[in-house]
Amino acid sequence: MIARLIATWFYSGYAPKAPGTAGSIAAIAIAWIIHQYTGLSGVAFGYIAALLSIPGVWAADAMARESGLEDPQIVVVDEVIGQWVTLAGAAALNWKSWLIALALFRVFDMWKPWPIRKLEKLPGGVGIVADDVLAGVYGAVVLFAAGWFHLY
């Protein structure tokens, strides 16, 4: 089923421990490979995240309905989208910025400062994805500021 493939981000959501982190690592790994072969910038990953949000919301919603859970742990496409939104703030893509982006997104995704937690309450796939998009925006802002100050 295509929804399962997208929602679990090629089955990385089935990681036995910390599937959200596994999804974020898979997102960074795929983005790094894409960057190596195409030279895409961080901003380009923001655009890709926006495009992925359409099938991502659909797939997350389908998996939530199938499982009967509001936000099934196996659904990690939201982490991929949020992680790529974070990359949009990168002034440069190098090993430091990749690691900082991963750490920033995971911190904001787990901490859920205001109003991220409120977005989780939106219905279906929109709620599953929206909170991670905003966590990604927060991460992008901090990543951008770190780049501005030449911290990576």
87-145 residue pLDDT tens: 999 999 999 999 999 999 999 999 999 999 999 999 999 999 999 999 999 999 999 99
Which ranges of 8-123 would DSSP assign to H, the alpha helix?
19-38, 42-67, 77-87, 95-111, 116-119
Range of the domain at 45: 2-148
**What is the Cα 120 distance to its own chain's centre?**
14
What length does the chain have?
A: 152
Q: What total number of domains does the chain contain? A: 1
By CB atoms closer than 10 A (0-12, 13-18, 19+), residue 17 is exposed
12-57 residue pLDDT tens: 999 999 999 999 999 999 999 999 999 999 999 999 999 999 999 9
